[in-house]
Amino acid sequence: MGILNITPDSFSDGGKYFDGKLNPDKILKNAMKMEKDGADFLDIGGESTRPGSEKVSVETELERVIPVIELIRKNSDIPISIDTYKSEVAEEALKKGADIVNDISGFRFDKKIAKITAKYNATCILMHIKGSPKNMQVNPVYENVVEEVYTYLLESILMAENAGIKQIVTDVGIGFGKNLQNNLDLIKNLSVFKKLGYPILLGVSRKRFIENISQTPVNERLEGTIAANIAGILNGANIIRVHDVLENRQAALIADKLK
């Protein structure tokens, strides 16, 4: 899954495609490159959910993502994921050609989003988060991070199933209300989440826990990302969400063969 953040303030690529206004030529060029490099889906987001980030309005989010979805859909049939927890944004994105709703809250922040996803027969990605993006990294504490994330995702799955959603993907939410050890424990124990019965998405690309280990700035975390993704694949990840598609796909092919 290739990442396209249409935001001015995402932790890694904020401002790359949007700095007060959209840069459609750059967006399309990079989207098509991701597809050529082997992306199976593109994940488009219009609100940064980095630690400490502020919410944006529905209107602002729509202004960022809808033109991008329309642009990509005119030029490609690649499946598109809308990275949002707002039902209004999800519905407009699905109307314009998105196929997947990727909700960082696992359907907790907006109770209408499950029904919207089902209405358009879309796939959902249900992620675990502790708290909100604004406060999630303020001393997160767990008694047993694997058990608590598992229970949370199970409850989200039941919400999705009860709404009539047929295709579900789970995401343990690396970096979303977790400290370094929590993140490592989840990656090492991904196989536990296979018991939920659905594919697992892993999102580690360029995240801060890599810096905590290797003291690398955000633009120098490709090697750490690849290492974490290989470990994740060997432990059960089915989808990896990445900024650098070509390099991570090459690594994933090797990990698949080893597995």
The catalytic position among 86, 178, 241, 249 is 241
What is the gyration radius of the CA atoms in the chain, in angstroms?
Answer: 17
pLDDT at 12 over 70: no
Q: State how beta strands 239-240 and 200-202 pair.
A: parallel
pLDDT confidence bin for 13, thresholds 50/70/90: low
* Parallel, antiparallel or unpaired: strands 42-45 and 80-83: parallel
Confidence of residue 44 (pLDDT cuts 50, 70, 90): very high
The answer to whether 207 is a known catalytic residue is yes
Q: What is the 3-state secondary structure (H, E, C) of 215-241?
A: CCCHHHCHHHHHHHHHHHHHCCCCEEC
User: Encoding tokens for residue 22?
Assistant: 């959209």
Higher pLDDT residue, 19 or 193?
193
User: In total, how many domains does the chain have?
Assistant: 1
- What CATH number is given to the structural domain containing 195? 3.20.20.20
* pLDDT tens for each residue of 91-104: 999 999 999 999 99
| pLDDT band for position 49 (cuts 50, 70, 90) | confident
Percent of the chain with pLDDT over 90: 84
Mean pLDDT of 234-253: 98
The pLDDT-based confidence of 48 (bands split at 50, 70, 90) is: confident
Amino acid at 101: V
Residue among 96, 206, 207, 221 flagged as catalytic: 207
Backbone angles phi, psi at 91, to 5 degrees: -65, -45
Query: Comparing 37-46, 128-137, 171-180, which segment has the lowest mean pLDDT?
Result: 128-137
131 pLDDT band (50/70/90 cuts)?
A: confident
Owning domain of residue 18: 2-258
Average pLDDT of the residues of the chain:
93
pLDDT, position 166: 96
- Please give the pLDDT value at position 247: 98
Quick one: which of 74, 48, 50, 72 has its CA closest to 60? 48
DSSP-based three-state secondary structure for 24: helix
Confidence of residue 155 (pLDDT cuts 50, 70, 90): very high
pLDDT tier, 163 (very low <50, low <70, confident <90, very high otherwise): very high
**pLDDT band at residue 213 using 50, 70 and 90 as cut-offs:** very high
User: What confidence tier does 35 reach under pLDDT thresholds 50, 70, 90?
Assistant: very high
Question: How far, in whole angstroms, is CA 1 from its chain's centroid?
Answer: 8
Model confidence pLDDT, tens digit, residues 69-124: 999 999 999 999 999 999 999 999 999 999 999 999 999 999 999 999 999 999 99
Model confidence at 197: pLDDT above 90: yes
pLDDT at 79: 98
195 is catalytic: no
Dihedral (CA of 32, 89, 99, 82) sign: positive
